């Protein structure tokens, strides 16, 4: 291959997102109050702890449902089918507030921050005229753009491909191929950087990407296994000599 594009995973690769019970509970309360104010009156008779359990049980059910076919439903449909339908809440509320609820979960439910070296590494790659993009599994259409803006990283990435928009999630090969088509690059000349062996490395290899890089992440699932990456790194700045070699 001759390297012409680098795509990145987002969570665990460009940013870190540790969560704890308090953060999840805070996000659930915020979602509940927003939905009540929007007219989801049945929720007023549901305690905060009950709603928190229903919310995350519903999301877990959705995660299991989507696993086999790598389908990513729009957030509006996720909330309608897997969370709010049990309360008899009208569909218009899911349609209007599904994305807002997903955004709250993906932002307020975690302690998100950019990897400390992210901006420096992206600046170094851009200085070498290497185009950069993102392919991310996420249930919110707004979270990744919001986080990129917060981290001062928006300018480095085009395209930004999200499973919530595309409708399929990694490791489905379609999302990788779609990203390369959007970027106008031959997939064999693209490299993918991610922290998940099963979703990122397996997915990119099966899609036909030229090279793969696994970046270590402290919160990886120990049961997450997959194909061996072409390179393994601990710091995004380690991509510079790899890129130089492949150019």
Per-residue pLDDT of 123-180, as tens digits, reads: 999 999 999 999 999 999 999 999 999 999 999 999 999 999 999 999 999 999 999 9
Task: Give 92-155 as a DSSP string.
Answer: HHHHHHHHHHHHHHHHHTS--EE-TTHHHHHHHHHHTT--EEEEE--S-SSHHHHHHHHHT-GG
pTM of the shown model:
0.94
- Spatial separation of the C-alpha atoms in residues 75 and 129, rounded to whole Å: 36
CB 185 within 8 A of CB 164: no
- Spatial separation of the C-alpha atoms in residues 135 and 191, rounded to whole Å: 12
Instruction: Give the model confidence (pLDDT) of 79-119 as tens digits.
Output: 999 999 999 999 999 999 999 999 999 999 999 999 999 99
Region 25-47: what's the mean pLDDT?
A: 96
């Amino acid at each position: 291959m001759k390297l012409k594009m680098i795509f990145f995973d987002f969570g665990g690769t460009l940013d870190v997102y540790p969560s704890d019970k308090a953060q999840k509970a805070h996000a659930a309360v915020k979602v509940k109050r927003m939905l009540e104010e929007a007219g989801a009156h049945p929720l007023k008779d549901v305690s905060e702890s009950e709603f928190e359990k229903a919310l995350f049980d519903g999301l877990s059910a959705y995660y299991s449902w989507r696993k086999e076919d790598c389908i990513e439903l729009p957030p509006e449909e996720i909330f309608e089918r897997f969370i709010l339908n049990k309360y008899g809440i009208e569909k218009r509320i899911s349609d209007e507030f599904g994305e807002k609820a997903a955004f709250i979960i993906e932002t307020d439910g975690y302690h998100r921050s950019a990897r400390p070296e992210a901006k420096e590494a992206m600046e170094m790659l851009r200085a070498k005229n290497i185009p950069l993009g993102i392919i991310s599994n996420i249930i919110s259409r707004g979270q990744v753009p919001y986080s990129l803006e917060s981290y001062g990283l928006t300018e480095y990435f085009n395209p930004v491909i999200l499973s919530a928009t595309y409708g399929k999630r990694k490791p489905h090969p379609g999302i990788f191929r779609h990203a390369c088509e959007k970027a106008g690059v031959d997939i064999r000349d693209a490299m993918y950087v991610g922290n998940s062996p099963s979703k990122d490395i397996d997915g990119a290899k099966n899609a036909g990407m030229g090279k793969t890089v696994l970046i270590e992440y402290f919160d990886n699932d120990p049961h997450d296994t997959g194909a061996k990456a072409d390179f393994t790194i601990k710091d995004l700045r380690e991509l510079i000599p790899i890129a130089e070699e492949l150019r």
